[in-house]
Amino acid sequence: MTNVVIGSLGEWVRSNAFKLTLALFMIPALAVLVIFQLVPTVWTIWISFTDMALLGRKFHEYSFVGLKNYEKAFNDFGFWASMRVTIYYCLASLVLRFLLGLAAALYITSRKFKGKRIMAAIFLLPYIIPGAIHPYVWLSMLETDYGTVNRVLRALGLPPQSWMYERLTESIIAINSWAGYALAMLVLTSALTSIPKEYYEVADIYGASRWFKFRKITLPLIKYPLILTLILIFKEDIDDFTYAYMFTGEIPYPDYRTELLALYAYHKAFSDFELGFGCAIGFIIAVIVFVITLVQLKIGGV
């Protein structure tokens, strides 16, 4: 009986050798995914249901508190202030990133402009450069007295602005839009190049204007890529952290003007040492991203 089982197993292994070989190549990737993604996620969710603190006795002798951290969050002024700032940040960035990306995509796919390959590479530069470098580049440009932006405003006869203090939220939105519009450009360029040229040729025969072709041909045929682009941008910005942190640091900015949800969770966990509460905020962000992802998959027909 044992020999029969071993023989059957050996026959199955020989017949599925190619599939087993492919599965072996997946093991390193799965190990990385489990160690650096799944385990920290599960651990974060567990901590969000405890009163663990980053320092002191509570770091080792924490207790299970159930939904108290979530109740505290929904009754906390700072959480809702951060939520309002995050929504404003996401919507403003969404409009700017989408419009800039659409304009760049239309330029790249246009037949009337030259040097499009070089311009496409230039358009991609902000997206390729690491995000941690962007604030340092813009710090000198947004400096109140000698910054490039205020020098341009003075040259145009306009009053200089306090970009680093009074207009800090708008500055962070502008930097994020400049650094991230290439995502919309790439998706929309792919969608625009997939439209058959015959539609435009027929429209040209009937003397249609550019606006008519854009409104009646282009927009309807890239409707779903447009929607997916908007969702991708919003999902990417909802848990944004880098620019707000690098401009404000460890201390929340007055009136929570730059306190995005991800930054609020960081401050609670690592500045106020409320690790359980900070993980609860992080899990709330994860739930929001999960819901947006479900909507994205539904629209994409996955």
Per-residue model confidence (pLDDT) at position 246: 83
Residues 78 and 203 in one domain: yes
Residues 114 and 256 in one domain: yes
Per-residue model confidence (pLDDT) at position 173: 92
The verdict on pTM exceeding 0.75 is yes
Residues 233 and 130 in one domain: yes
Residues 99 and 237 in one domain: yes
Phi, psi of 64 (to 5 degrees): -75, 125
Per-residue model confidence (pLDDT) at position 279: 93
Residues 248 and 103 in one domain: yes
Per-residue model confidence (pLDDT) at position 47: 92
Per-residue model confidence (pLDDT) at position 9: 66
Q: Which residues in the chain come in under a pLDDT of 70?
A: 1-10, 12-13, 300-302
57 located within any domain: no
Between CA 219 and CA 299 the distance in angstroms is: 17
Between CA 151 and CA 157 the distance in angstroms is: 10
60 located within any domain: no
Per-residue model confidence (pLDDT) at position 91: 93
211 located within any domain: yes
**Number of structural domains in the chain:** 2
Q: Each residue of 87-99: pLDDT tens digit?
A: 999 999 999 999 9
Q: Each residue of 182-223: pLDDT tens digit?
A: 999 999 998 998 888 888 888 888 888 888 888 888 888 888
Token pair listed for 120? 């496409």
Per-residue model confidence (pLDDT) at position 185: 92
Q: Give the bridge partners for 50, in sequence order.
A: 64
* Segments forming the whole domain that contains residue 269: 70-300
